Amino acid sequence: MADAPINPLDLLIKSQQAALKLTTDVLRSLQDAAVAGATQPAELTTQVADMARAVAGMSSAFTGIAGSSVQPLQDFIVRQREIADTVHTLAEAQAQLAGVMASLAEHHADAVNALETVTAPLFAIVGAQPTAPKTRAARKAEGG
């Protein structure tokens, strides 16, 4: 059976609990060392060694906390960079499409001009009145 993905929040909570336990153990050892130093000097040496191990354990726990906190943030930043790259690629594609559409519009306008040139004499012979185009340019020219 495949392992379930590790939840960063659960890992952070467990790391904090471990760090808190280690901190409590170190403080308890410091208190015991103070008492033992006054009454049993040999025991003090043992307790100082135990404290050194506890501090080393606390250091690795803090490293675990940092790792569990930083990795999700790093993953988030990487995903944001990927989104930015995707949006950039989309923008480039849209710019290319805009160029294609502008070219298509120019060719269509040329075709319409040619058609007007060919049909203008025919419309003049039959006496047809030109129909005003419903374009943005025509509306602007009319003042609307």
pLDDT at position 57 over 80: no
Q: How far is CA 55 from the centre of its chain?
A: 37
pTM: 0.43
Q: How far apart are CA 102 and CA 96, in angstroms?
A: 10
Eight-state DSSP code of residue 135: S
Residue type, 110: D
Spatial distance between the Cα atoms of 73 and 76, rounded to a whole number of angstroms: 5
pLDDT, tens only, 32-56: 666 655 566 666 666 666 666 766 6
Q: Is 54 exposed, middle or buried, given 0-12, 13-18 or 19+ CB atoms closer than 10 A?
A: buried
